[in-house]
Amino acid sequence: MLRVRVLDALDNLKAQNVQEIDVRGKTSIADHLIVASGTSTRHVKSLADEVVKFAKLAGMPPLGVEGQREAEWVLVDLGDIVVHVMLPRVREFYGLERLWTVGDDMTRAAIAG
């Protein structure tokens, strides 16, 4: 499964704070977002390159890769999975996890209550 390969690729190069976000029903661009941090621009680029390598080995080459030159935020589009590898300060600034999970806690609380 491609998702497992992506997670393995990130783990192989010691990605930090890896988060998976299920976005099915929230957008048509993907089913899952995977967000991870790197410790430097070199680490971010290496992590993204490793994801691309693992995806190609799985027979699923990326549809696109953006941000490799600056390597502060690299996006790897794998179709149903979009991988965001970011520097911690960039990740905190944009808050993708908060953006894509808004309302999830309230929905869970309403169901539980």
Q: Are 93 and 44 in contact (CB under 8 A)?
A: no
The pTM of the full predicted model, rounded to 2 decimals, is 0.86
Q: Which residues pair with 75 in a beta bridge?
A: 66, 84
From CA 53, how far away is CA 79, in angstroms rounded? 15
* The two three-digit tokens of residue 85, written as one number: 């590898």
CATH architecture of 2-108: 2-Layer Sandwich (3.30)
Q: How confident is the model at residue 113 (pLDDT cuts 50, 70, 90)?
A: very low
Q: How confident is the model at residue 111 (pLDDT cuts 50, 70, 90)?
A: very low
Mean pLDDT (whole number) for 63-86: 96
User: Containing H/E element for 76?
Assistant: strand 73-77
